[in-house]
Amino acid sequence: MNIPEDLTEFLYWVKERTEKIWSVNDENCPKGFYGARWQGLSEEQIDQIERKYDVSFTAEHKEFLKILHAIDKKEIVEYEYEGELIIEESTFFYNWLADEKEVAEIIKGSYNWMKHDVDEKSQVWLKSWGIKPASLDKRIEIFEEWFSHVPALLPLRGFRYIVSDENLKWKPIISMGSSDIIVMGWDFRTYLLNELRNDLDIHIEVFDEEDQMFYPELIDEVQQIFDENFKHDETKDIPFLKERILYWSCGWSSFGLRYYPENARVHPIVKT
């Protein structure tokens, strides 16, 4: 398949491959995506967005925004609720020009979700925060001091954020669900292969003798990219946020580490 290593070439490869799949109205095309096209941004538009939201995109993020950014369609999601079929439109990748309300809410979301983890119902309390105070106000004070040092988290799609810090060697994209945070890729190339795996035709059907069924498996080239990207490497770091990701066992694989239960710690609550 020869997936490009150069980011710009890779982004154009993604654009061409996805738009080709979406150009055919069959079972491989998600509902609502027929004829979908990516909408890139100009340098001027990117500058205006940075000023409007008071954010700073990394060089890699800017390249993504110029070539891909968002598509001109909404995904159609169908589900049953209390016996009734519900049909809704769902945003694919956030459109920084058109999805102003969603973008503003999701930017605040990372703060709100992690802040929720320090209330009296939560079990999350990081070792670096010291002994857990009984006072909720004190816990929030400690959390907010910590959060002020976390690199900027800028939304891409759903609850996916890019860690926007130009000084980091790696430019990871994280997924934040409830109190769990995992790394979806340590660069845009791996992340997009992960996120768009169903829109890039990068699977082969493998027959399972036990189940007597075919199951999709990633082709070897893509699997090798994933394996290499998630190898343990001391340079893979996300200041402050790394400890939060490693709090739950699911986060350990993000750094190519193995989880050992004895690493879990219980923090006593003291009166303050």
In this predicted structure, the answer to whether residue 51 has a pLDDT above a threshold of 60 is yes
Q: What is the pLDDT of residues 199-245, one digit of tens each?
A: 999 999 898 888 889 888 999 999 999 999 999 999 999 999 999 99
- Dihedral through CA 185, CA 192, CA 250, CA 126, nearest 10? 60
Tell me: pLDDT of 19 over 60.
yes
- Give the model's pLDDT for residue 178: 66
211 compared with 147, residue with greater pLDDT:
147
Tokens of 260: 């050992």
CA–CA distances in Å: residue 121 to residues 118, 127, 140, 232: 8, 18, 13, 33
Segment 164-190 shows an average pLDDT of 92
Higher pLDDT, 120 or 193: 193
Residue with the two structure tokens 């001027």? 44
pLDDT digits (tens, 9 = 90+) for 71-124: 999 989 988 998 899 999 999 999 999 999 999 999 999 999 899 888 767 778
Count other C-beta atoms under 10 Å from residue 51's C-beta.
9
Which of 131-135, 193-197, 250-254, 267-271 comes out lowest in average pLDDT? Answer: 267-271
- Is the pLDDT at 47 greater than 60, yes or no? yes
Please state the rounded mean pLDDT for residues 260-272. 49
pLDDT above 70: residue 17: yes
CA angle 158, 215, 173 (to 5 degrees): 25
What pLDDT shows up at residue 242? 95
Between CA 241 and CA 253 the distance in angstroms is: 15
C-beta separation of 18 from 196 below 8 A: yes
Higher-confidence residue: 107 or 259?
107
DSSP string, the chain: -----SHHHHHHHHHHHHHHHHTS-STTSPTT-TT--EE---HHHHHHHHHHHT----HHHHHHHHHTBEESS-EEEEEEETTEEEEEEE-SS--TTT-HHHHHHHHHHHHHHHHHTTSTT-----GGG-SEES-HHHHHHHHHHHHTTSPEEEEEETTEEEEE-TTSSS--EEEEETTEEEEEESSHHHHHHHHTTTTTT-EEEEEETTTTEEEEEE-HHHHHHHHHHTS--TT---TTHHHHHTTSGGGGGGGT----GGG---PPEE--
Q: Is the pLDDT score of 269 beyond 50?
A: no
Question: Given the structure tokens 């409830």, which residue do they identify?
Answer: 178
Residue-level pLDDT at 243: 94
Arithmetic mean of pLDDT over the chain: 91
- What are the CA-CA distances from residue 209 to residues 212, 215, 223 (Å)? 5, 11, 22
